[in-house]
Amino acid sequence: MSPFRLFGNSAANEAADRILAAVMGAARDPDLFGDDGAPDTLDGRFEMATAFAALALMRLKASPEADRVAQVFTDKLFRHFDAGLREAGVGDLSVARRMKGLAGAFYGRLAAYRETIADEAAFAAALGRNIWNDAAAAPAPGLARRLRALHERLAAAPVQAVEAAASWIATP
């Protein structure tokens, strides 16, 4: 029996909380932003959160026993995005519309990253298009290498490693 299923919804909830904390911690690494990284803006932070969350979901979805955790994680991720919009001052009437747009953007990026992660150049182009609106963006190859290495480490580790913050430390 999977450790994710031992305690049902409670275990899935706790695992999803740990995964969300680890993913958001990794996505906030200051080395990801600035002149040689993503823009240090709300959009840039969304892009980094999306890239790391996509890696988490790819790993979770590769293990059928983690399906419940993947769903709970996704729900918590979108509640996190909702809270971020509200903190940024987006009015209640606009949040639903903005969340619909964020959901479309997130799932589009998840699909693009899933389809291209095996090919470094294609993955870098997908990151470039999404983060910098330029498939040939200069920082994209470095970020692609970093995220692909992380993806490979997560894929080689037991699915429970997704919960560990230390698993998300990506080497540049």
Residue pair 113/130 in contact by the 8 Å Cβ criterion: no
What would the pLDDT profile of 147-164 be if each residue is shown by its tens digit?
Answer: 999 999 999 999 999 998
164-168, long-range: CB within 8 Å, 24+ apart, which pairs?
164/18, 164/22, 165/18, 165/21, 165/22, 165/25, 165/26, 167/22, 168/22, 168/23, 168/25, 168/26, 168/52
What would the pLDDT profile of 87-138 be if each residue is shown by its tens digit?
Answer: 777 666 677 777 788 899 999 999 999 999 999 999 999 999 999 999 888 8
**Predicted TM-score (pTM) of this structure:** 0.90
What would the pLDDT profile of 41-52 be if each residue is shown by its tens digit?
Answer: 888 999 999 999
Round to the nearest angstrom and report the end-to-end CA distance of the chain.
36
What would the pLDDT profile of 99-109 be if each residue is shown by its tens digit?
Answer: 788 899 999 99
The residue extents of the domains of the chain are: 8-168
